[in-house]
Structure 1
Amino acid sequence: MGIFSMIKDAIWGQKAAPEEAVPSTSAMPQMNTPSDPGNPPAEAAPTAPTAPVDVEAILTAKAEAKGQELNWRDSIVDLMKLLDLDASHENRLALAHELGFTGDTDDSATMNVWLHQQVMAKLAESGGTVPAALTH
């Protein structure tokens, strides 16, 4: 699982499931049932669209509950700390690689600003409601 996925899951409230625990549909046994012209196969019920996730509200609530002064609105390090994720330089480098950072990774200040903007933009692309001020 990538670091961005861990960030997103921490905000969306999902626990990371081991990938091998989820069987693929191709590995599932197929049932051969005779067709019954009187009973056509039932169609799957349409899924209800999911409501957008209010990223700012969730992060604000997490910050209040944490009781620490974390500048998650501007700092990728503080954002990761808020989500109880490892904010080490190595993890931020991995996140930069994952998100396609092409700048100088030795310039951690520039990389961190870029990472924060990209994470917020990707959260918005993933169905999160993120104020425009956090994505620029």
Structure 2
Amino acid sequence: MSIFGTILSTIFHRANAATPSAAPADAPATQAAAPSASPEAAAAAAPAAPVDIDAVLTGLAAQNGQNLNWKESIVDLLKLLGLDSSLDSRKKLAGELGYTGDTNDSASMNVWLIKEVRAKLAANGGKVPAGL
């Protein structure tokens, strides 16, 4: 699965797990399969109502022992989701999302990545606050 697909399925899986009463009777089997699904399948499995990205990530941050700046840092967002935040992983994510800048300029790439990930989450059924 792509790195963005893993980001998407992790967040949407958490959102679905947080609202079990709204899930259909066969939801556990669907949710269990979500991490191995393609990004398209994860988006297709997204609930009809937008997922509150801020609420999901704030909930994860509250359970996490680290002080992560996930709203502004792609590294911290990846750490919060339990994903590889290495430079190599971020370069792969940049390639997946169509980054055309210099991947050796990690500061510029990271700024672009966090903005692009938020935009892609919104495009896939996530409700991303304007300030994020």
* Band the TM-score falls in, shorter-chain normalisation: 0.7 to 0.9
Cα distance in structure 1, aligned partners of 2:91 and 2:36: 24
Cα distance in structure 2, aligned partners of 1:17 and 1:115: 23
Gaps of 5+ in 2: 14-30, 39-46
Cα distance in structure 2, aligned partners of 1:82 and 1:8: 13
Identify the residue that residue 130 of structure 2 maps to in structure 1.
Answer: 132
Q: Normalised by the size of structure 2, how large is the TM-score? A: 0.75
3-state secondary structure, aligned to 1:118: helix
Cα distance in structure 2, aligned partners of 1:123 and 1:59: 12
Residue correspondence of structure 1 range 13-24 to structure 2 within 5 A: 13=13, 14=31, 15-17=34-36
Cα distance in structure 1, aligned partners of 2:37 and 2:74: 26
Deviation at 1:50, TM superposition (A): 1.2
Cα distance, 1:97–1:58 mapped onto 2, change above 3 Å: same
Cα distance in structure 2, aligned partners of 1:4 and 1:60: 19
Identify the residue that residue 9 of structure 1 maps to in structure 2.
Answer: 9
Residue type at the aligned position of 2:49: A
Q: What root-mean-square deviation, in Å, do the aligned CA atoms of Structure 1 and Structure 2 show?
A: 1.5
Identify the residue that residue 110 of structure 1 maps to in structure 2.
Answer: 108
Deviant stretches of 4+, over 3 Å: none
Q: Normalised by the size of structure 1, how large is the TM-score? A: 0.73
3-state secondary structure, aligned to 1:131: coil
Identify the residue that residue 69 of structure 2 maps to in structure 1.
Answer: 71
Deviation at 1:18, TM superposition (A): 6.8
Gaps of 5+ in 1: 20-48
Identify the residue that residue 39 of structure 1 maps to in structure 2.
Answer: none
Deviation at 1:132, TM superposition (A): 2.0
| Equivalent pair of 2:10/2:35 in contact (CA under 8 Å) | no
3-state secondary structure, aligned to 2:35: coil
Deviations, residues 57-103 of structure 1 (Å, cap 9, x unaligned) = 00000000112100000000000000000001111000000000001
